[in-house]
Amino acid sequence: MFKYYNVNQVVLPLDFEMKLQENDIAYTVHEFIEQIPEEAFTGFIRQTGCPAYHPRMMMKIILCAYTPSVFSGRKIEALLKDSVRMMWLAQGYEPSYRTINRFRVNPEVNELLRQCFVQFRCQLVEKELIDAEAIFIDGTKIEANANKFTFVWRKSIER
């Protein structure tokens, strides 16, 4: 059983969709996740306990957070409170960082995310939203030899 979740319903007092630009990445993420068949989410259904957030919504907020390289559960939770696109995708729900992290470590989500990234990138290239030849740097820091303590006095070299 899931909590009620419907993107097509008008949200009061503010409709976040009016605040988004027409070419926002949130629309692409929404369309992409909606294409996933319902059978992919049947493993998340639980009959006991509090109704869970819909796995489609959780996938949307995780993928949308990953696009600007936000990977921390706490930062994703903060985006749900600050970012209009994340508010629209979650339809006003604000899952905690623990809920987000519990969802991400689920073995079914791991494989689903892996397949989604491949399909998502292919669709972005097809729609020409990103360049197929794009190269992304992972932020690795490499030590350089140019610092103020690496110079050598001329006299010490001549000796």
pLDDT tens digit string along 13-32? 566 667 788 888 888 888 88
Question: Which pairs count as long-range contacts for 88-91, CB under 8 Å and 24+ apart, including other chains?
Answer: 88/16, 88/17, 88/19, 88/20, 88/26, 89/26, 89/29, 89/30, 89/57, 89/60, 89/61, 89/64, 90/57, 90/60, 90/61, 91/5, 91/6, 91/7, 91/9, 91/11, 91/57
> How many percent of the chain have pLDDT more than 90?
18
Mean pLDDT of 108-119: 81
pLDDT at residue 104 above 80?
A: yes
Verdict on whether the full-model pTM lies above 0.75: no
pLDDT at residue 45 above 70?
A: yes
